[in-house]
Amino acid sequence: MGAAAGREIHDLEHERFLEEVHSFEFWFQSVEGYLAGTTYGHRTETADESPTGAVERQRLITVLSNYCIGEMAALEGASGLIAIAPNQLTKIFLSTQVADEGRHLEVLLHRMRELGVKHPAQEADRRASRSLKQFRAELLKLVQGRDWEAAIFAQNVILESLEFAVFRAHAEGADAITKEVLEGIIKDERRHIGFGENELGRRLHGAPHIRTRLTRVREELDHLVLSMLEDSSREIGVPPDQQGELARSYLQSVERLGFT
Amino acid sequence: MVDPLESSDDDPVQRRRFLLEDTGFDEVPARYRRFYRKWRGAGDQLAPNEAICPVCKVVIRSSRELWPGDRLYCMPCMSRLVVVEATDGRLEAHVSY
Amino acid sequence: MADTIDAYSIQNWLESCPQSYLENTEYGHAAGEKEPDFFLQNEVLLEETIKATVQLVVGERCALSASSGLINAAPDEASRRFLATQTLDEARHVEVFTQRLYDLGVRKKDLEGTIQRYANPNLVKFAEVLLEKIDRKDFISGVVGQNIVLEGMAFSVFEMMYAMNESVNPKFAHTLSGTIADERRHVGFGENRIGSLIREHPEKRGEVEQMQKEMSYFMLATFADAFRNNRTVDELEAAGIERPHSQYQGVDLGVMAPEDMEQVLADTVLKEFKTRLGRIGIEYQTPTRP
């Protein structure tokens, strides 16, 4: 561990770099940096500026409900992927992702509880959008079908990029506690989207024929993603003229992989 | 792509060197933190030893001035990048799979 | 159940592990700690140590597959979150024991070959019995197999190994003490969560009991192979190195023959199984002795 300590990190051999960043040790020391001193994703001393108006409060609860179901899908997806991961290092990385997704679900449910929801898991299930639930079902089908590339594409590229874009936009205008919770999640998501994009990028480079299959997966999921984006933009209050920016942020990652 | 380890011996003479200090970036283990910083948004400027990761939008830093062909690693999102010169002459980091 | 589950939350995990017993560790031990020279320099002792460590990696890989597979079979989201932390724990165990193989001189490119060469076939069968239940998304059997049988076995094996290594190999003893702390949570969850499910599904008892009997047999067969074909004691005697007088379950391991150590370990694990299974309403099945 720590072969690069004291050296220029960019001089590492690529294989050694991947060993480092996919390890439990790396994850462990990374999350320590930003989770130490927090309880359920935020500092206890952070001022509670939750919306007091009934409409705003209900809207936030609905937004968090959708996030919970998204994180539940990610937890199910990541845990299922461990069984089909191609090697030990990847299994270990996915295990850290499983813990991240579990943590996200937990802090979001806790936030709902702080907002007065008595049974947040049931409430989340009741409020979540239909397109998100359908996406969750489609993702699980890919995982259960043991299709590594398609499942990674749906989970770590599409779902994670979407969450990354939405959470960033929401954090900008959120109340202090929700903002801290989301910022912690965003830091985790960086690892997940990076892992997905790089893993798929390498595979597409080595076996370009995979692209046809993934294009089909994308076509099947696209309408759900666009619908989820539309719902999220409306709920978190992104002005119509800025909604395109949110979509662009999501689309960039799939475009970097050559899906236009 | 140029591997900085394999670059010519006279590189240090021509390239500017930078002393990297911890900027408070907390998403990687402490010993790597000086290689990254947060992008501060509009008004922020990249130094000659810095590039933005296109995947996760973090600023990647090197102890050397960046040249086209250099390899960079973004630890927060685990990407390998290569520095390229854009059409307007600016340096950009592109993902290298 | 809410209070019990709070104790198994990820928040609790964060406060228990990174901010507690794993703080300032590298691969589960303090930075700079090394394997003792006399193990690294003696060919027989080194091979036996590698062989024993391979069994740990095999066991932990099974635990990783099982705990991650159980997430999608769990009936409630709180159990899923606990299993998410367990998945991470098991991945950490795979990593620290794999790192120990590297510390013992196994080259990275030879890792899989080394594991294949030394993995005990009975331990592989033990894992297969469990993973077949996981594959069928059988949550009750899976949790009993994983969190009571497998973890119960690991708990006792690690404790014995800890006793044997504490004075001669602090590095490995520290690695083991962290894994033992993790296992405590896992066996605790197994008992607390599954007890109520067994009461709700009494029809599952027969199947669970049969699985425990089969897994116990393969476990005993693994112990038999591990102790009876082990050259460590003879080699230490030949080298004139006195074995440490480690205390485990009230006996001095430093004066025991390997077969007697096997007996102590087997009795300890089976007794634990009987007690734990009894608490959740499962009748312990005596396995055939290999």
- For C35-48, the pLDDT digits (tens) are 999 889 999 999 99
The pLDDT of residue C7 is 67
Nearest chain A residue (CA) to C6: A106
**Rounded average pLDDT over A34-42:** 92
The pLDDT of residue B7 is 45
Tell me the whole-structure pTM to 2 decimals: 0.89
Q: Is the pLDDT of residue A108 over 90?
A: yes
Q: Is the pLDDT of residue C60 over 90?
A: yes
Instruction: For chain C, say whether A106 makes contact (Cβ under 8 Å).
Output: yes
Domain boundaries, chain C: 2-279
**Rounded average pLDDT over A79-108:** 96
Cα(C258)–Cα(C116) distance, integer angstroms? 24
Confirm whether A7 is domain-assigned: no
**Rounded average pLDDT over C135-160:** 94
Q: Is the pLDDT of residue A154 over 90?
A: yes
More confident residue, C261 or C188: C261
Cα(A78)–Cα(A136) distance, integer angstroms? 12
The pLDDT of residue C19 is 64
Ranking A72-76, A241-245, C68-72, C150-154 by mean pLDDT, the lowest is A241-245
Q: Is the pLDDT of residue C90 over 60?
A: yes
Instruction: For chain A, say whether C110 makes contact (Cβ under 8 Å).
Output: no
Ranking A92-101, A225-234, C225-234 by mean pLDDT, the lowest is A225-234
The pLDDT of residue B12 is 54
Burial degree of C85 (CB within 10 A; 0-12, 13-18, 19+): buried
| Partners of chain B (3+ Cβ pairs below 8 A) | A
Q: Of C183, C13, C156, C159, which is closest to residue C93 (Cα–Cα)?
A: C183
Q: What's chain B's average pLDDT?
A: 86
**Confidence class for position B2, pLDDT limits 50, 70, 90:** very low
CB A3 within 8 A of CB C26: no
Confirm whether A3 is domain-assigned: no
Interface touch C84/A24, C-beta < 8 Å: no
**Rounded average pLDDT over A29-53:** 91
Q: Is the pLDDT of residue A46 over 90?
A: yes
**Rounded average pLDDT over B73-78:** 91
The pLDDT of residue B13 is 61
Instruction: For chain C, say whether A3 makes contact (Cβ under 8 Å).
Output: no
The pLDDT of residue B57 is 86
Q: Is the pLDDT of residue B22 over 90?
A: yes
More confident residue, C3 or A94: A94
The pLDDT of residue A258 is 86
CB-nearest to A24 from C10, C14, C91 is C91
Task: Note down the domain range covering A57.
Answer: 15-256
Q: Is the pLDDT of residue A95 over 50?
A: yes
The pLDDT of residue A113 is 95
Confirm whether A126 is domain-assigned: yes
CB-nearest to C81 from A80, A82, A106 is A106
**Confidence class for position B11, pLDDT limits 50, 70, 90:** low
Architecture of domain C2-279 in this structure: Orthogonal Bundle (1.10)
The alpha carbon dihedral of C154, C160, C161, C162 has a sign of positive
More confident residue, A120 or C15: A120
**Confidence class for position A6, pLDDT limits 50, 70, 90:** low
Residues of A in contact with B29 (CB under 8 A): 2, 26, 29-30, 33
Cα(C158)–Cα(A43) distance, integer angstroms? 37
Nearest chain B CA: its distance from A203 CA (Å): 8
Residues in chain B: 97
Find where tokens 């899976």 sit.
Answer: C142
Nearest chain B CA: its distance from A103 CA (Å): 16
Interface touch B73/A193, C-beta < 8 Å: no
Interface touch A32/C18, C-beta < 8 Å: yes
Per-residue tokens: C262: 């096997």
Q: Is the pLDDT of residue C214 over 70?
A: yes
Q: What percent of chain B has pLDDT over 70?
A: 87
Distances (CA, A) of B14 to A7, A118, B17, B66, C39: 20, 64, 9, 11, 50
Q: Is the pLDDT of residue A36 over 90?
A: no
Confirm whether A21 is domain-assigned: yes
Phi-psi category of residue C105: left, alpha or beta, with phi > 0 → left and psi -120 to 50 → alpha: left
The pLDDT of residue C22 is 83
Q: Is the pLDDT of residue C61 over 80?
A: yes
Q: What percent of chain C has pLDDT over 90?
A: 77
Find where tokens 């079902």 sit.
Answer: A137
Q: What's chain A's average pLDDT?
A: 91
CB-nearest to A194 from B4, B55, B71 is B55
Instruction: For chain A, say whether B34 makes contact (Cβ under 8 Å).
Output: no
**Confidence class for position C77, pLDDT limits 50, 70, 90:** confident
Domain count, chain A: 1
**Confidence class for position B1, pLDDT limits 50, 70, 90:** very low
Q: Is the pLDDT of residue A147 over 70?
A: yes
Query: Angle, nearest 10°, between helix axes C205-228 and C121-135?
Result: 160
- For the residues of B74-85, what is the DSSP string, one character each? ETTTTEEEEEEE
Do chains C and B have 3 or more beta-carbon pairs under 8 angstroms?
A: no
Cα(A199)–Cα(A94) distance, integer angstroms? 12
Alpha carbon distance, N-terminus to C-terminus of chain A:
39
- CATH value at residue A100: 1.10.620.20
Per-residue tokens: A175: 């109340």
The pLDDT of residue C4 is 44
* Partners of residue B95 on adjacent β-strands: B81
Nearest chain A CA: its distance from C281 CA (Å): 29
**Confidence class for position C98, pLDDT limits 50, 70, 90:** very high
Interface touch A9/B35, C-beta < 8 Å: yes
**Rounded average pLDDT over A46-63:** 92
Mutate to test the interface with A, among C77, C115, C116, C185 (most CBs of A within 10 A): C77
Per-residue tokens: C290: 């290999």
Q: Of C2, C11, C285, which is closest to residue C149 (Cα–Cα)?
A: C285
Query: Angle, nearest 10°, between helix axes A240-256 and A210-236?
Result: 160
Q: What percent of chain A has pLDDT over 90?
A: 73
CB B60 within 8 A of CB B67: no
**Rounded average pLDDT over C69-92:** 92
Q: Is the pLDDT of residue A4 over 50?
A: no
Ranking A76-90, B13-27, C90-104, C263-277 by mean pLDDT, the lowest is B13-27
The pLDDT of residue C5 is 47
Cα(A73)–Cα(A139) distance, integer angstroms? 8
CB-nearest to A198 from B27, B64, B79 is B79
Interface touch B55/A17, C-beta < 8 Å: no
Running DSSP on this structure, what letter comes out for residue A39? Answer: B
More confident residue, A123 or B1: A123
The pLDDT of residue B6 is 42
CB B51 within 8 A of CB B60: yes
Q: What percent of chain A has pLDDT over 70?
A: 98
**Rounded average pLDDT over A136-145:** 96
Tens of pLDDT, residues A168-203:
999 999 999 999 999 999 999 999 999 999 999 999
Q: Quick check: helix, strand or coil at residue C277?
A: helix
